Amino acid sequence: MQKTRPTKVKNFLIRATAVSALVASLVGVARAGQGSVDDATRAAAQSFEAKLQNLQSGNSAPAASYPPVTITEFEANSYLKLHSGEFLPPGVHNPAVQFQPQHVTGSADVDFEEFSRANTNPNDWGPKVLAAMFKGTQRVTATAKVESAQGQAHVQIESVAVGSMNVPDWLVDYLIQNVLQPKYGFDLSKPIALPNHVTQIVLGTRQATFLRGAVNPH
């Protein structure tokens, strides 16, 4: 029997990854194949999934409070290595996230031409613009500042780089408005609701801690 992953929490984390790795998500990070996976990576990915289940369990068991859940950078990256191809389209490889105080950095190897070919929507000019500007496969990195309280998160993109080139603000704004927001269904100019019972996410060095309360009003 196939295990059902906790959809709401997983979708939030997918969104968070998409925000932190802005361009990587815009071009569809990352169909990472499982390939040869060592036991430590597989165990860390399983730990990540167990923590998702733990975060979701508060929905059916009301309580005055819930213990915090800490996800490590290694767990998140192990999960991405094994499962990112299940929920994100092809175009990019080797995704990774990095947690720092108040910040998340995401990166991936982006094959812009492959992504453009895979996009079949004639009205979507985002992939064509990217393929025209950037050639071949390059490492894309984006850093976002994340502040959260009372069940909501505010996300601000601070920098996006393709290879050694810093992407200009006008292009970042265009991609946010025309690709990211329609694709993932949220507006970065507004607060993002956290998963049920999560009141705050505390980002530290190589880890993210989900603080939880009895009710998330959002």
> What does the pLDDT profile of the chain (218 residues) look like in tens digits?
444 444 545 555 445 444 444 433 333 333 334 456 789 999 999 999 898 888 776 555 555 667 899 999 999 999 988 887 776 656 777 888 999 999 999 888 888 777 666 666 666 666 666 666 777 888 888 898 999 998 888 888 888 888 888 888 887 887 777 766 766 666 778 888 887 788 899 999 999 999 988 655 55
CA dist 177 and 111 (Å) reads: 22
Q: Which of 24, 34, 27 is nearest to 139 (CA)?
A: 24
Give residue 65's pLDDT.
66
Give residue 122's pLDDT.
63
CA dist 119 and 166 (Å) reads: 24
CA dist 163 and 173 (Å) reads: 19
Give the CB-side neighbour count of residue 6, counting CA atoms within 13 A.
20
Side chain identity, residue 78: S
Give residue 58's pLDDT.
53
Residue 126, burial from CB neighbour count under 10 angstroms (0-12, 13-18, 19+): buried
Domain ranges of the chain: 7-213
Residue 8: other Cβ atoms inside 10 A: 13
Give residue 196's pLDDT.
75
20 CB-near residues (< 8 Å, 6+ apart)? 97, 104, 105, 106, 142, 143, 144, 146, 155
